[in-house]
Amino acid sequence: MPSAEVMRNTRPVTRSGLVRNLRALGVRPGGVLMVHTRMSAIGWVVGGAETVVTALLDVLGPAGTLMAYVGWNDSTGGLARWPPEWREAYRAECPPFDPEFSETDRQMGRVPERIRTWPGARVSGSHFRRMAAIGSAARWLTEDQPWDHGFGLGSPLAKLVDADGQVLLLGAPLDRLTILHHAESLLDSPEKRLARHVIPVRVGGEVVWRDVSDHDTSTAIGAFPYERVVGDRDAFAVIGQLALDTGCGVSGMVGKADSHLFPAGPLVRFGVEWLSKEFGS
């Protein structure tokens, strides 16, 4: 509950107000929308994350679909860098990844977990590349996500582009543009950094450690030597701002949050062009 001072000086953000703002920004009824949120930026929302999801579904309507990146909170991405004792304990007793049950990566915030657990939601089964979706295209978006290169061809991100979908940063910063990992996957370059992971999954009654190949999506390293081009800035934030500057996307207020809405396909094409210019064909 907010403090008395906050309540005196802050107007509440309501479902109806969010719906008006989202429509004014350009969220399309009947479309496919991927959302990234930062609840603290939106203001004090009556009903919290549930209200945000409900408002998004109100705008999309019964023919629309809402999707979010949920990942996996027990991701093994940094396993090789852990102390030996940690690795041994994790390998011995970590609950295996379960696409339906495993918790959302907490770094994604409250809204993705609310989407994952929404009645009728569909969840893709691709380890820490997992997406959750609600709506008419949810099954299609989330089915058959490849284990290797889970942001590439055949992934929910590729299908978002195929569906002429949109990407909404609802108070979230530009560096959260997960769709640009799909752009990275499309570029064939000798400078691309690859990564391998091992994921515990249950096969029958046994836990099996599955090898997975992908390009490096970690913040610390990244798919390309971005530091050579952008220094200590985040590459996705740079690409996102350049896209906005060229008219690929619009900005506006939703609740009290600075928000950005991008067309998924044009943003991916912009990203591929930028990556090609900096890192090869």
Q: Provide the mean pLDDT of the chain.
A: 92
Give the sign of the dihedral formed by CA 48, CA 106, CA 235, CA 268. negative
Mean pLDDT of 118-145: 93
Task: Write out pLDDT tens, residues 45-90.
Answer: 999 999 999 999 999 999 999 999 998 887 776 777 789 998 888 8
Strand order in the sheet with 257-263: 122-123, 131-135, 65-69, 32-37, 166-170, 257-263, 250-254
Task: State the average pLDDT over residues 227-234.
Answer: 95
pLDDT at 198 over 60: yes
pTM: predicted TM-score of the whole model, two decimal places: 0.92
Query: What pLDDT score does 100 carry?
Result: 83
Report how far residue 170's alpha carbon sits from residue 108's, in angstroms, rounded to the nearest whole number.
12
Comparing 37 with 212, the larger pLDDT belongs to 37
Burial class (CB in 10 A: 0-12, 13-18, 19+), 80: exposed
pLDDT at 6 over 60: no
Q: What is the pLDDT of residue 49?
A: 96
**What is the average per-residue pLDDT within 186-197?**
93
Task: Work out the percent of the chain whose per-residue pLDDT is above 70.
Answer: 96
pLDDT band at 7 (very low <50, low <70, confident <90, very high): low
pLDDT tens track for 33-51: 999 999 999 999 999 999 9
| d(C-alpha 157, C-alpha 75), whole Å | 20
The reported pLDDT for the residue numbered 138 is 98
pLDDT, position 87? 84
